[in-house]
Each structure stands twice: as structure tokens, then as C-alpha cells.
Amino acid sequence: MGDHTLVVLASGRGTNLQSLLDRTGDGTIPGKVVMVVSDVPGAQALKRAEERGVYTRVLDYSTFPRKSDYERALVETLEEVQPGLICLAGYMRIVGPTIVKRFSGRIMNIHPSLLPAFPGLEAQRQALEYGVKITGCTVHFVDTGMDTGPIIMQDSCPVEDGDTPDTLAERILKIEHRLYPEAVRLFFQNKLEVLGRRVHSREVGK
Ligand code: GRF
């Protein structure tokens, strides 16, 4: 469909999707969200997309007999649109190797920790249980591992003594909403250079 088109995959409430809708809507990101796909019917993310008139597609994971059937349907859906970039935003599944290979270098994810620390589920709880004093979030390209792809951007915040997973998540989320649109903007402006595991940003002054 075009280089500056974005498909967002989301399973839940979709606040990161919202930040991408807002920053594409106001022109900060030179691109357009053309489709939102969810594996969960009724996900709040779908409502956020509909409110903006963005096309949505539900691939209800529970209706597919095998994971491979779901993956095939997802590839077909993405092939229809041929997006320039796919953003995972609270998408609670591991993207299979077929999709990663097909859209290599064009899939991003945001994760609520400073990777490689605390990959996988409940990153904020993991950070609290480990006792770190600083955590944050990471935008990275997606490879076939879990939260292991080349890191595009990271930013940090303190862990406070009274934090619970929820209060920490809320602090991190504020950073996420700034960082993810920033990474997508750089991608669409062709300012990201991937050198093996290292991603350089060719923004003037950085
Ligand atoms: C965010 O914390 C994101 O980093 C993680 O899942 C959460 C999704 O939140 N991958 P939302 O659905 O974008 O509000």
C-alpha cells in the first residue's frame, strides 16, 4: 500500500495506539495508520481506531484451530495492505517467523523495561521484584525471539520506594507515549540505520 502506511497490532486498551493515531493525525509522524488488527474481539484499541475512522480487523485467536492457522490469516491480512511498517502496541502474542521474515526490518515493538532486562510478561512487576532503582521502556525492531530485536530507542525513569506494578506502569507509560511516535517518525523519515544489532538515528544534533 505504500511506504508511509502503518498497521498497528493491539490486544488491549490501546493507549500506545492512541499516541500513534494522535501523532500521525497532527502530522508529527509523516505517515498514516491504515489498519488496526486485534486478536481480541472488543479490545478497547479497536474502539480507538473506529473513533478515528481507521479500518479495523479482528482475528479472534480463540476461533483458530491451530496457532499456524492464526498466523496464516494474519499474514494474509497484512499482505492485503502491504504496510510500510507494522507496530506492535500491547499485542500479547509472539509474532511468528513467517511474518518476521516477510516484513523483516519493518516490525517494531514497545516494551515496558530497559531491555535486555525483564523481557516477556509483567515487566514492571519483574523490575520491582528484582529491586532495580531505574527502569524505563524500549522500542525495538522485532525478530523471532521474545523482546530480543535491535534496540531503536530507550528512556528511563526512577523506581520509587512506594511503587506497585500499577504506579510504575503508569510512570513508564508516559514515556512510552512519547518514545514510540518518535521512533516511528524517524523510521518514516528514513533516519534509522541498522548496523547488525545497533540502530543509529541520523537525526541532526543527536
Ligand atoms: C504497554 O506497557 C506496552 O509497553 C506493552 O503493553 C502495554 C500496552 O499498553 N507492550 P496499551 O495497550 O498501549 O495501553
Q: Using an 8 Å Cβ cutoff, are 198 and 36 in contact?
A: no
Q: Is the CB of 147 under 6 A from ligand 1?
A: no
Q: What is the pLDDT of residue 46?
A: 98
> Is the model's pLDDT at 205 over the cut of 90?
no
> Is the model's pLDDT at 204 over the cut of 70?
no
Q: Is the peptide bond before 116 cis (omega within 30 degrees of 0)?
A: yes
> Is the model's pLDDT at 2 over the cut of 80?
no
> Is the model's pLDDT at 1 over the cut of 90?
no
Global pTM value: 0.96
**Please, is 181 exposed, middle or buried when counting C-beta atoms within 10 Å of its C-beta (0-12, 13-18, 19+)?**
buried
* Given the residues 111, 140, 177, 200, the one annotated as active site: 111
> Is the model's pLDDT at 206 over the cut of 60?
no
> Is the model's pLDDT at 94 over the cut of 70?
yes
> Is the model's pLDDT at 117 over the cut of 60?
yes
> In which band, very low, low, confident or very high, does the pLDDT at 203 lie, cut at 50, 70 and 90?
confident
Q: Is the CB of 12 under 6 A from ligand 1?
A: yes
> In which band, very low, low, confident or very high, does the pLDDT at 157 lie, cut at 50, 70 and 90?
very high
Taking the CA of residue 16 as reference, the ligand 1 atom at the shortest distance is: 13
